[in-house]
């Protein structure tokens, strides 16, 4: 989608960071030590995009290595907001029929859409409810 943040472009502006592809442990899509980001080579394109954004957010916040669950939730929320601006969410929400279509249109994985929808600002939630009731 035009106008959405692009983590690969962000990475390009940080030449000190390397991205390495490897077979990571089950359930681990990516990790960082600050100077490098490892991505599981089996990820699909949108999964790579979201995972890279997630690891870049850890770096922005100064994290290294594994983080407690509360920190991971905070990072997931920040990434979902960054990758899914509300105006783009509204455009896709108006016509999509399910989570898969919504994620596909927004160029993210379904988990990122779930997180974005779960943690909407109250005014955003109100706007989506209005859309749900259009035509009633």
Structure token digits, residue 117: 């929808």
In tens, the pLDDT along 30-47 reads 999 888 999 999 999 999
pLDDT-based confidence at residue 16 (cuts at 50, 70, 90): very high
Is it the case that residue 113 has pLDDT exceeding 80?
yes
The percent of residues in the chain predicted with pLDDT above 70, rounded, is 95
| pTM, full prediction | 0.90
pLDDT for the residue numbered 34: 81
pLDDT for the residue numbered 98: 94
- Cα separation, 120 vs 57, in Å, equals 19
Report all structural domains of the chain as residue ranges with CATH numbers, in order of start: 7-132 (3.30.2010)
How crowded is residue 88: how many other Cβ atoms within 10 Å of its Cβ? 17
pLDDT-based confidence at residue 78 (cuts at 50, 70, 90): very high
pLDDT for the residue numbered 66: 85
The region, left, alpha or beta by phi > 0 then psi within -120 to 50, assigned to residue 46 is alpha
- Residue range 104-110: average pLDDT? 96
């Amino acid at each position: 989608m035009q106008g959405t943040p692009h983590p690969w472009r962000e990475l390009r502006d940080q030449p000190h960071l390397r991205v390495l592809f490897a077979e990571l442990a089950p359930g681990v899509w990516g990790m960082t030590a600050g100077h490098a980001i490892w991505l599981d080579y089996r990820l699909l394109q949108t999964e790579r995009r979201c995972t890279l954004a997630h690891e870049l957010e850890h770096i922005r916040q100064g994290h290294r290595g594994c983080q407690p669950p509360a920190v991971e939730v905070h990072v997931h929320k920040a990434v979902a907001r960054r990758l899914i601006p509300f105006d783009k969410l509204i455009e896709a929400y108006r016509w999509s029929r399910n989570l898969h279509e919504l994620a596909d249109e927004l160029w993210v994985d379904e988990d990122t859409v779930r997180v974005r929808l779960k943690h909407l600002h109250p005014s955003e939630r109100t706007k989506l409810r209005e859309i749900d009731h259009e035509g009633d």
